[in-house]
Amino acid sequence: MGDEWPHTTGDTQLHTALVSGGNRGIGLEVVKGILEESVGSFVFLGCRDIEAGRNLALHLREVYGPHRVEALYLDVTSASSISNAINIVGTRGHLDILVNNAGIMPEADEPQFSSQNVRMTMAVNFEAAVAVTHAFLPLLQGAPNGAQILFTSSGCGTRAMGMLNDADRSELMSSSIDTPGLQKKLSQLENDLQEPANPYLQIPSVGYSLSKLGVNCFAQILARQNPTMRINACSPGFCNTGMCVNYTGTRKPKEPALGASVFRKVMFGELGQGQTGIFFKEASKADTLLEKAVSVQDPWVAYPDAN
């Protein structure tokens, strides 16, 4: 499906990009999109299974040309792995695009509330995204034409924000909150979930939702602090990836290539031009043709239906 995308932009800049969790699902489709859309670009395919990543990179080089993609061992929860990745990416001098895509959703397999799952989800989806981004900021700040940072997010995060009380929401959405303040607040919300009467336990997939709420807030903070960069969050929507392998509901998931099309439009299309600190989502239904896919800008807060 990814090969059917109409090549309309033809960006000739020689971008260097890194996509975490780039070996499957949305991440892999984002890697393909960069290779197709940005002529001459080079992509580091971040992955934890380096052998599988190398085999995938070999295939991608056969499809998109030699010397254009390299598998990069990156365990986003490991400081030493991040440090080693910086040294490798740094050999190219700078980084133009960072896509924080690596993530987990254990609640998809164990929907019953588990504080352990919440902690693990927050560590991978939020804290690791913060660590990776801060680690690569010096290389991003060296991008000659301004860097981009994108986060794979979800409407779960915007809906969770809408389900918070006014005081918590105001604190998290304040233009004065910084990253340490955000981390402290999220830690408090996570700890408060231990109380059986906590109303936030009613948030669907609460661990995943809070982690994406955190990612959304972090994207806004970064955008305020780095005005020369374009920093946004993208929701591919409900897609047929490993996260929904055990899904038994009636809603049909999209193919990953369709969900990932929003990243392409934000990075290289008119949708993302001049935009920073914005939440974008792929708004098409399953089975929509790529050339008819629709991505839109959405608010950071989605309030529950008043009815």
- With 70 as the cut, is the pLDDT of residue 245 above it? no
Kindly report whether the global pTM for this prediction surpasses the value 0.85: yes
Q: What is the pLDDT, as a whole number, of residue 69?
A: 97
Reported as a single tens digit per residue, the pLDDT across 119-135 is: 999 999 999 999 999 99
Q: What is the pLDDT, as a whole number, of residue 212?
A: 98
Please, what sign has the CA dihedral across residues 171, 175, 176, 177?
A: positive
Q: What is the pLDDT, as a whole number, of residue 204?
A: 93
CA 185/CA 2 separation, integer angstroms: 39
Reported as a single tens digit per residue, the pLDDT across 91-109 is: 999 999 999 999 999 987 7
Please report, for residues 69, 168, 284, the alpha-carbon distance to residue 288 in angstroms, rounded to integers and kept in the order given: 29, 38, 6
Q: How confident is the model at residue 4 (pLDDT cuts 50, 70, 90)?
A: very low
More confident site: 2 or 44: 44
CATH class of the region 12-284? alpha beta
Take residue 12 and report the two structure tokens written for it: 């000739």
Reported as a single tens digit per residue, the pLDDT across 10-32 is: 455 689 999 999 999 999 999 99
Q: Are strands 279-282 and 295-298 parallel, antiparallel or unpaired?
A: antiparallel
Domain-wise residue ranges, the chain: 12-284
